[in-house]
Amino acid sequence: MFISNDSSLHKANVQYLEHLAVALAHQTKRYNTDENKQIPKAPNLPEHIQSSTEEFFEDVKLLTSFVGCLIFEKIEQKGKTIFHLKSRGIEAKGFYDENGFTVLKGSTVNPDNVPSFIWPDKRNKLLQELTEQQGNKLVLHTDNTFSSPSTACDFCSGSSQNGWIVWKTAKGQTLDEVYRNKLNS
């Protein structure tokens, strides 16, 4: 919840904030927004009120990002090292940055969990939200960022693995090797 410090937000401001938030969330595709199929319409506001409400929304975006809720942040792949995962019949790719490990749209994921998998219910829910059946493959239909390389790997493979050693560059370097080398340089 966000409030203004001078009680200057009124119903029309809130409607405009909702319009901005839902539109940007749909655009960034960080989270499943299927429940909000319609983007709320922007109310007719005078330009100066619209401008001050947009400034307030910039603060909302900054604060949500600061607390780790990246719903309004676009996933930027440009300039990032791409890592691949080929395990249990899947071919996934993604990149690592300060936000976690992002598995890229078009990656194939294993529909099954090994019996010892420790978070099958959450994974199955994510599979329903983030993937679609294409032929005999389950394909990620949107980029998705996970908190760690291992969680990303576990999601893709349906088994528990160390993401730092199974995600590899096209040249075969592990994620661990790439980032350890950068830190030691």
Summarize pLDDT for 13-35 with one digit per residue, the tens.
888 888 888 887 777 766 666 66
**CB-CB contact of 108 with 85 (8 Å):** no
Question: Rounded distance, CA 60 to CA 22, Å?
Answer: 13
Residue 109, classed as helix, strand or coil, is: strand
pTM above 0.95, yes or no: no
Summarize pLDDT for 149-164 with one digit per residue, the tens.
999 999 999 999 999 9
Nearest in space to 153 (alpha carbons), one of 123, 183, 185:
123
Average pLDDT over residues 102-110: 94
Average pLDDT over residues 85-95: 91
**CB-CB contact of 51 with 58 (8 Å):** no
Question: Rounded distance, CA 13 to CA 152, Å?
Answer: 38
* H or E element at residue 144: strand 144-146
Average pLDDT over residues 83-104: 90
Question: Rounded distance, CA 126 to CA 136, Å?
Answer: 19
